[in-house]
Amino acid sequence: MPESSENTGKWVVTSVTSSSELPAVLTVAEAAEYLRISARTYYQRASAGALPCVHIGSRIVVPKAALDEYLQAGLQTDVQTELPPEYRRWRAKAHES
């Protein structure tokens, strides 16, 4: 379950076990932490159009619904050219069971 930090008021995403526990709109840092990638990687992939994001003025945010759709689409896609070979092997094993 997400916890609010007393000092900053920001969500601590590392303790999240389900995306349904996340707020409806995430910061890039929160979305990156949820995906277990760096915020820099998220920004790079989002600017290339590979990860969902919304620009609000100078801020970039990630709607949770868009992130969920992105993850679901990745699970249903037959060809994963964006993923390294070890993840493709893991995905193939996950679909066998």
Q: Are 34 and 12 in contact (CB under 8 A)?
A: no
Helix or strand (DSSP H, E) at 56: strand 54-56
CA 10 to chain centre: 17
Report how many domains make up the chain: 1
Work out the number of other CB atoms within 10 angstroms of the CB of residue 16. Answer: 17
Q: Could you tell me the residue range of the domain that residue 32 belongs to?
A: 3-96
Q: Taking a C-beta distance cutoff of 8 angstroms, is the pair 62, 53 a contact?
A: yes
Residue 74: pLDDT band (50, 70, 90) is: confident
Q: What are 14-46's pLDDT values in tens digits?
A: 444 466 788 999 999 999 999 999 999 999 999
d(CA 69, CA 67): 5
